[in-house]
Structure 1
Amino acid sequence: MRSESTPVRGYGLTLYRDQDGHDVCGFLDGSPVLVPTRTEKTPEGRRIRFAEGKRELPQVGDIFCANSETAGLVRDALNEKFGRERDAVNAFRVVSANLSRRQRYLFLYVGIANMQTGSVDTVSFTLEAPDERVQRDGQAKFGRFVDALGLTEIADSDMLLGRAATMGGTGEARIFRRWLS
């Protein structure tokens, strides 16, 4: 008597780069009916070919999970890992802080050194300005920066020195976040 094996059905996950160039893990297909059929060698390495019923999917995946809970945990864990790696690349330490008064403006220039490359960049904050909106925006931006450094209030700019954080975005679109090494 010959028994026929039943293929294991489950979820396929794939690793890819999103529109911003970030590594991401996502479901290849949201249905639990995928069956891994074979592995293929691609320029990115070995990938899994999946079938849905008798139809082979045009996309290839990287991970197969037999149940949705495991697939969700794996996806979340990989996306968290990728996020930590992005944060580490953008982690910085404050190396200088200088106040500058020009007419009725007060600026704070903060030197930040990338922790991986050592390259130094300067971010500036408008703390006082004759225009209330400019001052409010500058102080709000500085407040988010101070919060990312783990401070609740600041009495002297020297309190910033040696503090670390991470950031996303560039130029005026920078978003500062706490960073735990």
Structure 2
Amino acid sequence: MFGFHGTGKEKADLVLKDGFKISKTKNVPNDLGTGIYFYIDSEFGEPPEIMARNFCCIFRKVPKTKVNIIKSEINENARLLDFDIKSNLVELSKFRNENLDNVKSILKSLENGNGLKKRGNLDGIAIELYVNYLNEKYATQIAGVKRSTFTRNEEVIKYKASNIPNGKELCIYETSYILSNVLYS
């Protein structure tokens, strides 16, 4: 499987030289948890390399002409939790509701940093707790999660959020599952 990640030139050079690094911070995790985010093939919207470029331009404020797209090969044997499968999403929802006090407690201990605390998206916290729970319960190693999502782009810039997906994101928690990285554009 291939994933596409948009970034600026300096960070792209570092990734091509040393690979991706996951920074553990005291910030609220991103929507799918703390990891490396990619866009992958989906039946929605634009191709994943375009989605990666759009994300980098809109949210990282990198000018379109300065975006570098990294194409990464993801190990096909990586155990990925797909939240587009209804039963997985139902179980996550139940888990979140049963563990809401724990999610709130974790939120209080985190810094604002990346704006997610202000935006109020606590999904990353709930997903990380759920993945840890599954890893312990089943003695497994979930390498990441994937989900169809909505990402603003130039055409739909007036939408700040939507429940109608236009791409599919993959968040890898363990960089050892990223087999190779090449500059796509």
Which TM-score applies when normalising by structure 1? 0.22
Which structure has more relative contact order (CA 8 Å, sep 6+)? It is: 2
Structure with greater helix share of residues = 2
For normalisation by structure 2, the TM-score amounts to: 0.22
